């Protein structure tokens, strides 16, 4: 009997122990569950809060716009240049490059200088008639019978009039103003590209007139086909140059709309069949091997080896975006490096148009600067917009 009671007591203890264990386990599970619920409550539920904030929407739009812009830039192709061009730009009138003395019965005089006209002024009218050629000015002067002429002058963007009495030359009797004038400023450069819409970019820097000091006032003009007749080799301390004869009486191949820091831009009016190259996007130009397409003999361009020594990251257009070095032996033998007239020569790296030559280092003609092609393309496109607005 006692043995039976002991067994019953042991079973009760065992049941009690199991109950305690189960109770402890339940408490433990409740504790874990209670700690888990707040975590779920505080987590962002992407399903329950699916509406993006205004800032998120704007950021998404910006990313989409940037992506679309990159895709658009990636698909921009132009017809590469490398051909020499003759350049003729004017300021909308006759450019005052200096003064001359008129030998009269009373002695030597310079009516224009006495009237306050300055070198760099632009003479755009005489007695209310527009003048754009020296021949036209001579016709007006020869037919003038009065005492004073009224000259329309453009200076620093401001138009005003000056009255002066022309002096009669003692030998011929012709009435003269005592002015040294020229109709335009000319030179030789290189075509960089022609867009598929017929816009061109060339030269890689602005064109200026050393005699009158004019630069950005030289806005309109033409470009012409030409051929290279010879080369003056560059030397340390002395820039070389391409020799070409520009026939300004020939049919122009393009009309200039803009004279800017990074080149000449306008409408290419002739047929052009250069090979298509993609314009580089920001960051694609890298230090390393590249090629320059230029013409140093005749009219056909040729690729020569160069190195991109340095790439300057730019957010705004500037003509010094890269430093380049000529390493092609043939080009070095012919020109000594970079010479005047090669400005605008396109630079290709990995099959992409990355830039154009702009300047030569005077002390080291094997080296020079280049402009990023994407800036030139933007200017070419914007010059087309200016034409449409003017029309």
Q: Which residues are catalytic?
A: 205, 328, 343
**Please, are residues 319 and 333 in contact by the beta-carbon 8 Å criterion?**
no
**Please, are residues 192 and 377 in contact by the beta-carbon 8 Å criterion?**
no
**Please, are residues 371 and 380 in contact by the beta-carbon 8 Å criterion?**
no
**Please, are residues 244 and 207 in contact by the beta-carbon 8 Å criterion?**
no
**Which residues, in sequence order, are CB contacts of 186 under 8 Å at separation 6+?**
86, 87, 88, 89, 246, 248
What does the block give as tokens for 286?
A: 């890298």
Closest CA to 203 of 136, 144, 150, 258: 258
Q: How far apart are CA 168 and CA 173, in angstroms?
A: 5
Closest CA to 290 of 382, 355, 385, 378: 355
Q: What's the angle, vertex CA 41, arms to CA 35 and CA 47, rounded to 5? A: 140
What does the block give as tokens for 155?
A: 């200076």
Q: How far apart are CA 346 and CA 83, in angstroms?
A: 10
Q: How far apart are CA 150 and CA 181, in angstroms?
A: 17
**Please, are residues 128 and 159 in contact by the beta-carbon 8 Å criterion?**
no
How many Cβ atoms sit within 10 Å of the Cβ of residue 217?
A: 22
């Amino acid at each position: 009997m006692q043995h039976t009671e002991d067994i019953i007591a042991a079973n009760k203890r065992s049941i009690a122990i199991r109950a305690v264990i189960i109770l402890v386990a339940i408490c433990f599970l409740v504790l874990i569950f209670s700690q888990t619920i707040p975590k779920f409550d505080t987590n962002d539920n992407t399903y329950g809060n699916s509406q993006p904030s205004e800032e998120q929407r704007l950021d998404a739009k910006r990313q989409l716009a940037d992506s679309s812009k990159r895709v658009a830039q990636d698909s921009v192709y132009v017809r590469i240049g490398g051909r020499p061009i003759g350049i003729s730009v004017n300021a909308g009138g006759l450019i005052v490059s200096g003064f001359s003395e008129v030998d009269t019965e009373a002695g030597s005089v310079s009516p224009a200088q006495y009237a306050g006209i300055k070198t760099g002024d632009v003479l755009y009218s005489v007695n209310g008639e527009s003048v754009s050629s020296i021949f036209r000015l001579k016709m007006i002067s020869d037919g003038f019978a009065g005492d004073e002429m009224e000259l329309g002058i453009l200076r620093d963007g401001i138009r005003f009039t000056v009255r002066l009495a022309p002096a009669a030359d003692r030998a011929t009797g012709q009435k003269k103003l005592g002015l040294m004038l020229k109709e335009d400023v000319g030179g030789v450069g290189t075509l960089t590209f022609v867009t598929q819409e017929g816009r061109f970019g060339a030269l890689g820097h602005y064109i200026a007139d050393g005699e009158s000091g004019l630069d950005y006032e030289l806005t309109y003009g033409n470009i012409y086909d030409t051929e290279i007749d010879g080369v003056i080799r560059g030397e340390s301390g002395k820039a070389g140059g391409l020799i070409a004869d520009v026939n300004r009486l020939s049919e122009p191949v393009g009309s200039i709309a803009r004279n800017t820091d990074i080149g000449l831009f306008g409408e290419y009016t002739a047929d052009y069949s250069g090979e298509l190259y993609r314009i580089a996007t920001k960051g694609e130009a890298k230090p390393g091997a590249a090629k320059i397409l230029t013409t140093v003999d005749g009219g056909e361009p040729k690729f020569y080896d160069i190195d991109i020594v340095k790439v300057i990251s730019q957010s705004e257009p500037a003509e010094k975006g890269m430093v380049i070095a000529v390493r092609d032996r043939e080009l070095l033998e012919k020109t000594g490096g970079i010479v005047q007239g090669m400005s605008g020569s396109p630079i290709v790296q990995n099959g992409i148009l990355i830039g154009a030559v702009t300047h030569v280092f005077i002390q080291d003609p094997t080296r020079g600067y280049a402009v990023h092609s994407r800036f030139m393309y933007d200017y070419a496109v914007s010059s087309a917009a200016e034409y449409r607005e003017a029309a």
